[in-house]
Amino acid sequence: MLQPREKFTAPTQYETSQELARKIQNRAARLGVIGLGYVGLTLAAEMAKEGFEVTGIDIDRNKVDSVNSGISYVLDVPNETLLPLVTQKRIKATQSLAAVENLDAVSICVPTPLRKTKEPDLSYVVAAAEAVGNHLQQGQLIVVESTTYPGTTRELVLPILEKTGRQVGRDFFLAFSPERVDPGNFTHTTRTIPKIIGGVTPQCGKLASLLYQQFVDKIVPVSSPECAEMAKLLENTFRNVNIALANEMAIMCHSFGVDVWEVIEAAKTKPFGFMPFYPGPGLGGHCIPVDPYYLTWKARLNGCEPRFIELAAQINSQMPLFTITRVADALNDRQRSLKGSKVLGLGVAYKRDTSDTRESPALEVLYGLQQKGAAVSYSDPHVPSIQLNDEKIKSLPLTAEVLEAADCIVLLTDHAAFNYEIIAAHSQLIVDCRNAFKGFSRTNIVSL
């Protein structure tokens, strides 16, 4: 006699979350990272080092092949770290978005650039969310790490995932945890930098916190994804506006005939109420020049006028032109015109000791010098070649002959690998944008 079929009952929220929690604690959870850039690959490595099986997903075939060969393209993840993880099958990479189906948790670490209109471009986030939605499984945890405006996780990502008919907090879990990677910083790393986490529901936040505490030293839970999104924007806007103040001080000090670097050194001796920020040829990297525009765009939608933040962005955007003017003036003081002069830029990465040239002001300075007729070359131990005005140029070795051949050296990025004694000894003229030659008494050095 045939027995009647048992009626299927969907797992409860408690059962679903408990199963995922068990897998995380037992290192049985299969983790995924969408986007294998500076943030994603570093995160994947930390996960794998703690015993998790990690799948990296990226549309870039070169990145996928490089990871699967154990060859890192990110300075923060040396080959000596990546290769054993690949060999032990802790990390693998793929271009297939269908890999999401076999994962228990997915971290989205895709770029969030600006459009030419300075408005947020969330096309990568949307594409990643749609890919996850197309392959969403019961009980999966999704964590967005890409920096974005407040409301993105709940207003943009959540509706895409709920199109599947599944309900957040019951069938899947969603949270926002802003990346805080500082490329080239080996003191404050993905593991040691506290991790902010805001879940769409309390259970979402708890599960995301449980996952990240397996490979991050300190978790900072907040009440919502909006709070976590806003905290990240506050961090980078804080730096943006204070660097703008330092840059404006540099311009004023130059007009007064005062050394801005000496001024800052004197001011920072105050043991309270002051935090030093430093001027430079402009702002670079993905975060600081970009994130404030995400905030101002969202603020306008809510009827706010973020004048202070926008003014800071305007000041910072002037610094490449100010740097070019300083080079022209320094050459003019030595009876040379900028047009026809040989100018060697030192460092093209946006910050010291990295290979990251995203939004690098050094590239803007070199392009501007070239447009004004200078014969431009560069040297950077971390960046073998760059595209400048539709021309690919290669980094020059920093020899005495190369230095002596230049009419002007412009120090744009103060890499530790540069030998500043040799640079000072063999250069006709140096425009120092980073105070790297502090303490040098040579007359051939001009400060920003």
- Helix, coil or strand: residue 289: coil
What pLDDT, on a 0 to 100 scale, did the predictor assign at position 368?
A: 97
Mean pLDDT of the chain: 94
Core vs surface per residue 317-336: b (16+ CB within 10 A) or e: bebbebbbebbbebbeeeeb
Domain end point (choices 178, 207, 226): 226
Given the residues 253, 287, 408, 433, the one annotated as active site: 287
Q: Are residues 214 and 266 in the same domain?
A: no
Q: pLDDT tens digit string along 411-440?
A: 999 999 999 999 999 999 999 999 999 988
Amino acid 200: pLDDT: 98
Residue 173 within any structural domain of the chain: yes
What pLDDT does residue 230 have? Answer: 97
Give pTM, 2 decimals: 0.90
CA distances to 110, 141, 147 from 124, rounded to whole Å, are 6, 19, 12
Contact present, 187 and 162 (Cβ < 8 Å): no
Same structural domain, 271 and 390: yes
Alpha helices in 107-163 (DSSP H): 123-134, 152, 158-162
Q: Are 278 and 388 within one domain?
A: yes
Do residues 195 and 288 both lie within one domain? Answer: no
Residue 232 lies in a domain: no
Q: Are residues 222 and 261 in the same domain?
A: no
Expressed as residue numbers, the domain containing 171 is: 13-226
User: Is residue 144 situated within a structural domain?
Assistant: yes
Is 101 inside any structural domain? yes
Predicted confidence at residue 163, as pLDDT, reads: 94
Q: 56 by DSSP, 3-state: which?
A: strand
Q: Which residues pair with 142 in a beta bridge?
A: 106, 174
pLDDT of residue 285: 84
pLDDT at 5: 43
Q: How many angstroms separate the CA atoms of 41 and 45, rounded?
A: 6
Do 214 and 264 lie in one domain? The reply is no
Give φ, ψ of 270 to 5 degrees. Answer: -70, 125
Q: Are residues 354 and 302 in the same domain?
A: yes
Q: Could you tell me if 263 and 214 lie in one domain?
A: no
Same domain, yes or no: 293 and 432: yes
Query: How much is the pLDDT for 266?
Result: 97
How far apart are the C-alpha atoms of 445 and 326, rounded to whole Å?
A: 12
Residues 108, 321: Cα–Cα separation, whole Å? 36
> Quick one: 286 and 219 in the same domain?
no
Specify if 243 maps to a domain: no
Beta bridge partners of 445: 430
**Domain final residue, candidates 180, 206, 226:** 226
Q: Tell me, yes or no, whether 300 and 206 share the same domain.
A: no
Signed CA dihedral, 213, 174, 67, 94: sign only = positive
What stretch of H or E contains 222? strand 219-222
441 vs 424: CA distance, rounded Å: 10
In a 3-state reduction of DSSP, which class is residue 424?
A: helix
Q: How far is CA 107 from CA 40, 63, 140, 171, 174, in A?
A: 8, 17, 11, 17, 10
CATH number reported for the structural domain that contains residue 195 in this entry: 3.40.50.720
Q: What is the pLDDT of residue 238?
A: 96
Q: CA–CA separation, 17 vs 267, rounded Å? A: 53
pLDDT of residue 426: 96
Does residue 238 lie within any of the structural domains? no
Reported as a single tens digit per residue, the pLDDT across 12-56 is: 667 788 999 999 999 999 999 999 999 999 999 999 999 999 999
Domain total for the chain?
2
State the pLDDT at residue 75: 85
The distance of Cα 374 from the centroid of its chain, to the nearest Å, equals: 31
The enclosing H or E element of 61 equals helix 61-68
Q: Is 287 one of the catalytic residues?
A: yes
Q: Which two tokens stand for residue 286?
A: 């993905």
Residues 34, 79: Cα–Cα separation, whole Å: 21
Query: Is residue 236 included in any domain, yes or no?
Result: no
Where do we find the tokens 């092949």? 65
| pLDDT tens digits, one per residue of 157-178 | 999 999 999 999 999 999 999 9
**Of the residues 208, 226, 244, which one is the last residue of a structural domain?**
226
- At residue 137, the pLDDT reads 95
Residues 211 and 291 in one domain: no
* pLDDT attached to residue 441: 80
Mean pLDDT, the chain cut into blocks of 10 residues (448 residues total): 45 80 97 96 97 97 98 93 97 97 98 91 97 96 97 98 95 97 87 97 98 97 98 96 97 95 97 96 88 92 94 95 97 96 97 91 97 97 92 95 98 96 96 94 88
Segment (H or E) for 16: helix 13-25
Is residue 65 in some structural domain? yes
CB within 8 A of 432, min separation 6: which ones? 411, 445, 446, 447, 448
